[in-house]
Amino acid sequence: MWRKVGCIALIVVVVAIIVAVVIQQTKGDGGFSFHVGSKGKTQDEDKKSDFETARIDNLKLTVEATGSTEPIADIDVKSEATGRITEFFVEEGDLVSKGDLICKLDQSNQLLVVDAREIALKQAKLAYQETQEATSLTSQSSYESAYVSAEANLRSAQEACDNAAVSLDRIRELHGKGYATDQELENAQLSLTSAQTTLDSAQVAFDDAKTKLESFKNTSNTNQIEQARLNMKGAEVALAEARKQLGDSVITSPIDGIILEKSLDVGDSVVSINSAYGGGTSIVKVADMGKIQVRTSVDEIDIGKLSVGQTAVVTVDTYADREFTGTVTNVFPQGVTTGSGLISFIVMVEVDNTDSLLLGNMTASVQIEAQVIEDVLLVPLSATRAGEKPDTNIVYVLKEGEDPDDPKAETEEREVKLGDTDFVDVVILEGLEEGDLVKVRGFATQFQFD
C-alpha cells in the first residue's frame, strides 16, 4: 500500500515540475487555467484587483554593478633610517593613531658609516687647507722672485744703455775735433745699439714677470686647489647622505587607521627610503578605514549614464539587511576587455564607513542612481506583453463600463510604445492615457501537451 502511495506522490511531483517548466502566459482570458495557491494568503490578497492605473510619475533609473571594497587612503610605512628591527609593537588588524609606535631599529652599522664619513670629511678639509697653503706660498714666491730678477735686469740694461749713449756723444765730439778715429766712433755706435737691444729684451722679460705675478694674485685658486675643494665638498655630501639614512630609529604611524599588512618582523633589516636601491623597505601598510571605496565594473552600455557625484546604494553579503550610502567619485575614461570579450569601465564609489563595518576586499553590490525622468506616463512592467508583430508590445486595457474587481471583466488589446524602465515600472510613450486601467495579474495560463 505505501509503495503505491509513494509512486503516486512521485508522479504528482514530476507533473508539478513539468507544469512549472512549460507554463506560458497567454494574451487573453481563454484557455486552460492553473492557479497555485498559498496557505499564507490573506483574504485581502485574494481580493486584490488584477488592474492598475496608468499614472504620471517620476521614473528613477539605476545602474547596477558589483565590485570589491578597498580603503581610500592606505600608506606603505617606510623608514628614513637604515637598520635592523629590534622591537615591533603592532600586529595586523591593530588600530593605531597618528604617532603611535610601530617599531624600533638598531642602527649600530649605520652609525659606523656616519663615523667613517665624518673622518673622510676631516681628511678632505685638511688636504684642502694644505693644498691652499702649499700652492700659494710656493707659487707666489716663484713669481715674486722672477719679477725681482726681471726688474733688476731691466735697471741694469737701462743703465748700460744710458752709459752707451753718453759714450757715443763724447766720441762724436772728439771725432769732430780730430781726436778720435772713425773706428772708435763706429765702435761706440755699435755699443749703443747692442745696449738698446738688451734693454728691449729686459723690458719684455720684466713685463711678462709682472703680468704673471699680478695674474697669480688675482686668481690664486689653481687646478690643484680647486680639486682639493671639490673633494671636500664631496665628503660633505656623503656625510649628509649617511646622516639622512640614519634618520630616526623610532618608526611611528603617519595616520589614524588599521594595520592591514605587516611585511617585516623583529630581526629583519630595513633599508632607508633615501637609499638609491628600491626606494626603501615597506614595514607595514596602514589604512584609514573611515572612508571606503568600492571599485566596480560597469558595462559600456550603461557607462554613459554615470557621472561623478551621483548617489549610490551599497550592500554587502555580511550585512544583507543594511544599505550603505555612497557617491560616485571617479569614472575611468579607459575601458577594459573582460574575459568574455565585453568592454567594461571602472567606476569608483566612496562610502562612509564611520561604524567601521566594511572591511577591505568585501564583495559589494552597487546601485547607482543614474537618472530621474520626471512627469512621464508609467505602468507596471508586468502589464506588458510581446505583440504578434516583431518588435511590438501590447497591454490589456479594461473596457469601458467593466468592473476591475470582476475576475471576468473584459479587456481590449492595445499596442503601446515603451520607453525606459527600472524593471518595476515602464514608461509608455504611445498607446495609453493617464487613468487607463491595465491588467497586471490574473492572466490565464495555458498548457499545451504534445
The pLDDT score that the predictor gives to residue 185 is 82
Inter-CA distances, 436 with 51, 52, 404, Å: 10, 8, 11
The pLDDT score that the predictor gives to residue 209 is 86
Q: What percent of the chain has pLDDT over 90?
A: 46
CA dihedral 34, 38, 42, 47 (to 10 degrees): -10
The superfamily CATH assigns to domain 64-72+287-373 is Efflux pump adaptor protein, beta barrel domain (2.40.30.170)
Of 7-16, 59-68, 394-403, 405-414, where does mean pLDDT reach its minimum? 7-16
Tell me the average pLDDT across 69-88: 89
Inter-CA distances, 362 with 69, 150, 397, Å: 5, 94, 47
Tell me the average pLDDT across 39-53: 63
* Per-residue pLDDT at 15 exceeds 90: no
Q: Per-residue confidence at 113, pLDDT binned at 50, 70, 90?
A: confident
Question: How far is 193 from 205, CA to CA, in rounded Å?
Answer: 19
* Per-residue pLDDT at 275 exceeds 80: no
The pLDDT score that the predictor gives to residue 218 is 63
Higher pLDDT, 356 or 35: 356
| Domain definitions of the chain by residue range | 2-54+384-446, 64-72+287-373, 76-104+250-285, 112-241
Tell me the average pLDDT across 159-172: 89
Q: Which CATH class is domain 112-241?
A: mainly alpha
The pLDDT score that the predictor gives to residue 24 is 38
- Can you say whether the dihedral through the CA atoms of 160, 164, 166, 167 is positive or negative? positive
Tell me the average pLDDT across 427-432: 95
Q: Per-residue confidence at 232, pLDDT binned at 50, 70, 90?
A: very high
Tell me the average pLDDT across 413-427: 93
Highest mean pLDDT among 246-260, 275-289, 330-344: 330-344
Higher pLDDT, 449 or 111: 111
* Per-residue pLDDT at 406 exceeds 90: no
Smallest CA-to-CA distance from 51 within 395, 415, 416 is with 395
Which set of grid coordinates corresponds to residue 400?
Answer: 469601458
Give yes or no for a contact between 67 and 295, defined as CB atoms under 8 angstroms apart. Answer: yes
Tell me the average pLDDT across 12-32: 40
In CATH terms, the fold of domain 76-104+250-285 is OB fold (Dihydrolipoamide Acetyltransferase, E2P) (2.40.50)
Tell me the average pLDDT across 240-264: 85
Q: Per-residue confidence at 139, pLDDT binned at 50, 70, 90?
A: low
* Per-residue pLDDT at 233 exceeds 90: yes
Smallest CA-to-CA distance from 57 within 376, 324, 359, 288 is with 376
* Per-residue pLDDT at 29 exceeds 60: no
Looking at every residue in the chain, the average pLDDT score rounds to: 83
Question: How far is 252 from 79, CA to CA, in rounded Å?
Answer: 9
Neighbours of 401 (CB within 10 A): 7
Higher pLDDT, 136 or 376: 376
DSSP single-letter state for residue 92 = T
Tell me the average pLDDT across 139-159: 85
Higher pLDDT, 279 or 65: 65
The pLDDT score that the predictor gives to residue 442 is 79
Of 84-98, 125-139, 263-277, 318-332, where does mean pLDDT reach its minimum? 125-139
Higher pLDDT, 279 or 12: 279
The pLDDT score that the predictor gives to residue 35 is 37
* Per-residue pLDDT at 446 exceeds 60: no
Q: What percent of the chain has pLDDT over 70?
A: 83
The pLDDT score that the predictor gives to residue 203 is 92
* Per-residue pLDDT at 136 exceeds 80: no
Tell me the average pLDDT across 349-371: 92
